[in-house]
Structure 1
Amino acid sequence: MTNLMFLSSGVPKIMAADDYVGFTFFIGSMAMMAASAFFFLSLNQFDKKWRTSVLVSGLITFIAAVHYFYMRDYWNAHEVSPTFFRYVDWVLTVPLMCLEFYLILKVAGAKQNLLWKMIFLSLVMLVTGYFGEAVYQGSADIWGFISGLAYFVIVYEIWFGEASKLAAAAGGNVLSSHKILCWFVLVGWSIYPLGYMLGTTGWYSGFLGDTGLKMDIVYNIADAINKIGFGLVIYNLAVKSTKND
């Protein structure tokens, strides 16, 4: 059994039934686009102070959808991991996910230095991850360690640092939504280091075995869960807050 796919050039491409990587790229692109349409079309039901947050949620999934269309076509044409496109997507969308924390915490007096701190840490995490995965593959474990440090600083900031204190001060729906987003970062984002280790060589290679291109499956599933899930948390917060207002 095979499925007919089309490259961006319009040339038909047959996707094998056991091409699970290609399948997750296809599902990811459609899920992200559907989520974008949902977030954009729901904007008018919210008060102005929540529209920006929901708009950013739509932008995150829209940017991801566009990149997933490119990555899907790249995979169909070459059956090679589209690492460059993936990191371009992350460099744009992960800082926007950090922006979501700032936007919901503005009601508690969040300052822009919190936003810039989290954006800086996210860029360090992504740039060093790209170096290890695509540029300096011989020292991928070192670059992965630096990337992991930046990730854990972000985790500390939102769970115990300034962001956590602001969420506690805001209370109510903001606090509950902040906690859910924190779990997304702690649990959902932790899937990415697994994908990184599956796609690179280091001290961890011995117990992971023959990984092939399993990293793309892990990345694709994690992207859909985290980006759409992030947006749904923000959407739910906007709905509850608008009703209360």
Structure 2
Amino acid sequence: MSTQLFSILLADAVALQANDYVGFTFFIGFMAMTAASVFFFIESNRVEGKWKTSLVVSGLITFIAAAHYWYMRDYWLQTGTSPTQFRYIDWILTVPLMCVEFYLILRAFGATTALLWKMIGYSLLMLVAGYLGETVYRDNSVLWGVISTVGYVGILYETWFGSAKKLAQSSNDPVLNQAFSALAWFVLVGWAIYPIGYMAIETDGWLRGVLAIQNMDLIYNIGDAVNKIGFGLVIYSLAVNSMAAEKAKVMAK
């Protein structure tokens, strides 16, 4: 099996042109997500209690992304066009899981399943509407883009001003607050590339002609790696620092 896998990778590498920078980032994305998954799964065995679940979810996010980047890489090499359908399959699985992470780290401080389903609902609204506007109803992409933005704004509100933010503040845990703030910045800045990419679609996107779709694939690939891996590393840092703080309190008694 390993020989067969190596042969596939070698064939794809040969097909990759030296000046295909977009194709290059598909390879980088696949390998980076795979490496991150291995790291998160291994480290999940070194943490305790609730942090195991959080790190497993982080590993699942990058693992799912790695599997889709494998297919997106082949699709790009064979067609030279953007693998839109694979991206949305990836996002509709990984983005809700990233929202689950907010619930997991806040659960000890009073987060309820209502917050969990609210965040998942916002993410699904954002992604389903975005997919419909970018594929099925291209002539009405602005309308579907507005609907998708409602979901994105809902997540932004929860992480910056809503119940999720209030729970983090009420915890009086500086480690949690610092990590939560980093995750909120990922949502605000890191996730902003996705609506920008949507507005660059060819029909009536507000940024059509400003950004070439090939350039957006390059930005998507880099952004996906930074957002998903970075998100997981923040969770990992929170787990390690929280466990260290708890041990320090025990030793101080």
Q: TM-score range by the shorter chain?
A: over 0.9
Matched residue of 2:200: which SS?
Answer: helix
Deviates more, 1:211-220 or 1:153-162: 211-220
- Aligned partners of 2:182 and 2:41: how far apart in 1? 22
Matched residue of 2:111: which SS?
Answer: coil
Higher strand share: 1
CA contact (8 A) 1:53 1:103 kept: yes
Task: Give the root-mean-square deviation of aligned CA atoms.
Answer: 1.9
Classify 1:27/1:203 alpha carbon distance in 2 versus 1 (closer, same or farther; 3 Å). closer
Query: Does residue 158 of the first structure (1) align with residue 149 of the second (2)?
Result: no
Superposed counterparts of 1:97-112, under 5 Å: 97-112=98-113
In structure 2, the partner of 1:28 is 29
> Offset at 1:199?
2.8
- Aligned partners of 1:75 and 1:183: how far apart in 2? 31
CA contact (8 A) 1:133 1:200 kept: no
In structure 2, the partner of 1:70 is 71
Letter paired with 1:30: M
> Offset at 1:13?
4.5
Q: Unmatched 5+ residue regions in structure 2?
A: 1-5, 247-253
CA contact (8 A) 2:141 2:205 kept: no
> Offset at 1:10?
5.8
- Aligned partners of 1:11 and 1:32: how far apart in 2? 18
> Offset at 1:205?
3.7
Q: 1:181 aligns with which of 168, 183, 187?
A: 183
In structure 2, the partner of 1:202 is 204
Matched residue of 1:80: which SS?
Answer: coil
Classify 1:200/1:130 alpha carbon distance in 2 versus 1 (closer, same or farther; 3 Å). farther
In structure 2, the partner of 1:145 is 146
Q: Unmatched 5+ residue regions in structure 1?
A: none
- Aligned partners of 1:100 and 1:243: how far apart in 2? 20
Superposed counterparts of 1:107-118, under 5 Å: 107-118=108-119
Deviates more, 1:10-19 or 1:152-161: 10-19
- Aligned partners of 1:192 and 1:119: how far apart in 2? 17
- Aligned partners of 1:241 and 1:228: how far apart in 2? 20
> Offset at 1:165?
0.7
CA contact (8 A) 1:7 1:73 kept: no
In structure 1, the partner of 2:95 is 94
Give the share of equivalent positions with the same residue, in percent: 56
- Aligned partners of 1:200 and 1:7: how far apart in 2? 33
CA contact (8 A) 1:95 1:119 kept: yes
Instruction: Give the total of aligned pairs.
Output: 240
Query: Does residue 46 of the first structure (1) align with residue 9 of the second (2)?
Result: no
Letter paired with 1:234: I
Deviates more, 1:193-202 or 1:80-89: 193-202
- Aligned partners of 1:7 and 1:74: how far apart in 2? 14
C-alpha deviations, 1:17-61, integer Å up to 9, x for none?
Answer: 221211111110010001001111111221121110011001000
In structure 2, the partner of 1:192 is 194
> Offset at 1:127?
0.4
CA contact (8 A) 2:197 2:216 kept: yes
> Offset at 1:92?
0.5
